[in-house]
Amino acid sequence: EAEWECAARGGIEKGTYAWGNEMAPGGKRMANIWMGEFPHGDRRPKGHRTTRVGSFPCNGYGLVDMIGNVWEWTSDWYRTDCHTRPASSCCLAPDDSYDPEQPHIRIPRRVLKGGSFLCAPNYCARYRPAARQAQMVDTASVHIGFRCAVDADS
């Protein structure tokens, strides 16, 4: 999760969004997210759906579509209090990722990042790099995907 967030920021440390503090700098769309009032007022000409990879500007690291389009799985197990715990003890096992408010559901959850084409400012702000979403590992959806990554040469 931390690696994903660092990559999504593209070198911008304190911006609200992966590209800075404005949602649409100079009126330019920077990611494939919902345009209008969710769930009924999508203003995109072709409706709500995924876009081709690279349809929006790359970030400072040359990465595209880190925000919007589809949620991306990370390898981290989800835990609600993760940001208040030392990184070395944060949700290291699937059993730690169960929802305490739903003890009867014993399906582990991983962290999703980046938001999707269904995220809208009036509904959620999960297209911010710091935002995170829990998702049960047996879930598939049109707005959830994954990214292949390798370690950079040092």
pLDDT tens digits for 26-76?
988 899 887 666 666 666 656 567 888 999 999 999 999 999 899 999 999
Lowest mean pLDDT among 3-12, 24-33, 90-99: 90-99
What's the pLDDT at 113? Answer: 94
Work out the end-to-end distance of the chain between its first and last CA atoms, rounded to an integer number of angstroms: 21
Q: Tell me the chain's radius of gyration from C-alpha atoms.
A: 16
Q: Find the CATH number of the domain harbouring 10.
A: 3.90.1580.10
Give the DSSP letter of residue 136: E
What's the pLDDT at 8? Answer: 94
What's the pLDDT at 32? Answer: 86
What is the number of domains present in the chain?
Answer: 1
What's the pLDDT at 34? Answer: 73
Q: Which structural domain range is residue 14 located in?
A: 1-154
N residues, the chain: 154
Closest by CA to 125, choosing from 81, 67, 82, 49, is: 67
Which phi and psi angles does 111 have, rounded to 5°? -85, 130
pLDDT at 150 over 70: yes
pLDDT tens digits for 118-142?
877 666 667 888 888 889 999 999 8
* Encoded tokens for 146: 């994954």
> CA 99 from chain center: how many Å?
20
Give the DSSP letter of residue 72: E
Amino acid at 97: S
